[in-house]
Structure formats: structure tokens, C-alpha cells
Amino acid sequence: MRKYLLSTSTLAGAALLSSAAVADVSISGQFEWDYASRDSNIAANDGNVMGQDSALQINFTNKTDSGLTITAVNDFDTDAGSSDDVYMSIAGGFGTLKMGLTDGANETFNMDAMELVQEEEGGKLSSSGTNTATISTNTGGSGGNNQQVTYLLPAMGGLTAGVSVGTGAVAKNDEYTAFGLKYAMTAGDAAVTLAYSTKTTETATAADNDGSSYGINIAQGALSFTLSAGTKTGVDEDISSQSAGLSYDLGNGLVVAAATVKAEDDDDAGEEYDMTTYEAAYTIASGLSAVLNVSDFDYENGTNVDTAAQVDINGTNTSLTIKATF
């Protein structure tokens, strides 16, 4: 009888512990396959290529008795065999605290008109086929995944904002701070969103690396229009970029879009990047879509001392992407 009671108590205790540790689990994934025809003045970048991109997300969520929501996010870039976003967040009435490898406030609150286009093929900026030029090819706020802590304020009317602090290597000169905000409002029948973000990274050189992004999006019915601009400064860098994008939902699953971006570096006389892209995206079925994109680009190296081996490159890329979400 005693053995039975002990066993029962053990099972009950195990059940209690397991129930306390049970979390809501969500699993999702994406897969993209694309075929691109690249027409370039550089032989190494000229021709046809197939590629793929896939990702897997596994998220765990717990809600505490005190009303906190604790989430562990695990986002894996499966085609590259590496992790992407891996972090923990704690959310409540105070806002949200995020800790780990993920985007900071500068990426969360940036404004980039190129985001109205899903699959732009902007070309590679060197004869080796890699994107090695230091000039910006969008108006984003120097984003990217880093180990950092981000605090997001609770929404106050149409205002959302956040701040991030992070580190790179052990050296003190790799530390950075970021800040961003967005303000959403209505003007008649239109929804208007204003955005600003900035990031400063300490360096061992004479100047820190600073990046910023700002812009406006206006959405009315099936139409969405974005104007954005960005800056990037540092040693031998004084880059400014401007972008404009437009998308229109034609109905029946078909969305057309176009965007253009121009960037130039005043520190490297003559270094410029221009791209214009056109796209049609069609939803074939729930979770399945096809995207046809045509992008014209032109990069001029100028007197770029940062990438002295860089060459001028221009061309047209045409791509077809099949996308599935699960």
C-alpha cells in the first residue's frame, strides 16, 4: 500500500511539474525557389541561376499568473544551416523586453520603400558575384541580427518606440545603441505612418559608424505608397540614399509594385548605386504564391578607396520565385 501511495504521489508531482512547464508551441516555415536570368556587363555575373531559401520557426509561449507573456523564439535559416533570430521576450503592461540574437530598434522601426517589393534582384556589385561594395543599396537603418537587449514601449495612441543596446566582440569599441519610433494616424480615408530610426556603433577609428532611416507610408484602399531616405557615416563614408515605392492590389490575388532607390557616397567621389524594380505577385492558393520581378541596376565605383578592386557594373535581372508558407 505504501509503495502504491509513493508511486501515486510521484506521478502526481511529476504531472504538476510538467503542467507548470507546459508552453504553447507554434511551428511554421517558409520555402522559396527561384530562377533568375541575369544580364550583366560583367561576364562572371552574366547568365542564369537557380536558388532556394528556406526557414523554420519554433516558438514557445508561457503566460504567468502575474500576467506576463514569456516567449522563446527560434528562427533557423535552414538552407544555410544556421540560426537567424534566437531570443527571449518578456511582455506585459510595462512594454516588451527582448534579449538575444535578433533585430534591434533601428531595424524594427526603419522605413524602406523597397519593402513594397517582395523579391527585388538588385545585382551583385563585384565581378566575383559578391555584394562587397560599402555603399547602401536601400534606406534601412543599418539593421541586422546582433546580440542585444531591446525595450519596446507600450503603444501610446498611434506612437510606438523602442531602444536597443548591444555588443559585438569583446573589444569595447564594438558596442552600439539604437533608437526608433513610428507614429500612425489617419488623414481622411488614408492611413499614414511616419518612421525614424538610428544606430551608432563605437569604433577604434576617428569616427563612429552612424546609420539612420526615416520615411512616410500612405495607404488608402488597395494603394500603398512609401517615400524613405537613409544616411550612413563613418571613416571614409558619407552615404545618402533615397527610395520611393508603390504597390497596388488589383484583387483576385494579384498585387503589382514598383520601387526605385538611389545612393551616393560623398567621401568616394563618383560612387553611386541606382536600381529600379517592377514586380507582379500572384496568390495561387492559401500559402502558395508566385512572384515575377524585373530589376535594372547600375553601380559606378568612382574613386572608392574602400573597395579599390571594385568595377563598374550594370545590367538587368529577371526572376521568377515560387513561395510556400506552412
pLDDT in tens, 62-82: 999 999 999 999 999 888 888
pLDDT, greater one: 98 or 13: 98
Average pLDDT over residues 133-162: 83
pLDDT, greater one: 2 or 236: 236
Residue 148's nearest CA partner among 213, 201, 103 is 103
At residue 123 the predicted structure's pLDDT band, cuts being 50, 70 and 90, is low
Mean pLDDT, the chain, whole residue set: 84
CA 274 to the chain's CA centroid: 20
- pLDDT, residue 247, reads 98
- pLDDT, residue 307, reads 56
Model confidence at 13: pLDDT above 60: no
Question: How far is it, in rounded angstroms, from Cα 31 to Cα 117?
Answer: 18
Decide: helix, strand or coil at residue 134: coil
From the CB of residue 61, how many other CB atoms can be counted at a distance below 10 Å? 15
C-alpha cell, 232: 550612413
Residue 221 is which amino acid? G
Average pLDDT over residues 310-324: 89
- pLDDT, residue 8, reads 41
Model confidence at 52: pLDDT above 70: yes
Q: 121-125, 219-223, 309-313: which has the highest mean pLDDT?
A: 219-223
Question: Minimum mean pLDDT among 81-95, 114-128, 200-214, 249-263: which range?
Answer: 114-128
Alpha-carbon torsion (128, 49, 249, 143), positive or negative = negative
At residue 6 the predicted structure's pLDDT band, cuts being 50, 70 and 90, is very low
- pLDDT, residue 63, reads 94
Contacts of 24 (CB under 8 A, 6+ apart): 60, 61, 62
pLDDT in tens, 107-118: 899 999 999 998
Distances from the Cα of 16 to the Cαs of 2, 21, 92, in angstroms? 21, 9, 25
C-alpha cell, 203: 569604433
Model confidence at 212: pLDDT above 60: yes
pLDDT, greater one: 249 or 11: 249
- pLDDT, residue 119, reads 84
pLDDT in tens, 146-156: 889 999 999 99
Average pLDDT over residues 292-317: 79
Torsions phi, psi for 174 (to 5 deg): -100, 0
Decide: helix, strand or coil at residue 154: coil
Contacts of 107 (CB under 8 A, 6+ apart): 140, 141, 143, 144, 197
Question: How far is it, in rounded angstroms, from Cα 35 to Cα 321?
Answer: 7
CA 78 to the chain's CA centroid: 17
Question: How far is it, in rounded angstroms, from Cα 243 to Cα 214?
Answer: 11
- pLDDT, residue 14, reads 42
C-alpha cell, 115: 519593402
Question: How far is it, in rounded angstroms, from Cα 139 to Cα 26?
Answer: 33
Torsions phi, psi for 111 (to 5 deg): -130, 120
Contact 213, 227 (CB under 8 A): no
Contacts of 289 (CB under 8 A, 6+ apart): 253, 281, 282, 283, 322, 323
Could you give the domains of the chain?
A: 43-50+104-325 (2.40.160.10)
- pLDDT, residue 320, reads 95
pTM: 0.83
Contact 43, 19 (CB under 8 A): no
Beta pairing partners, 220: 223
Torsions phi, psi for 132 (to 5 deg): -95, -10
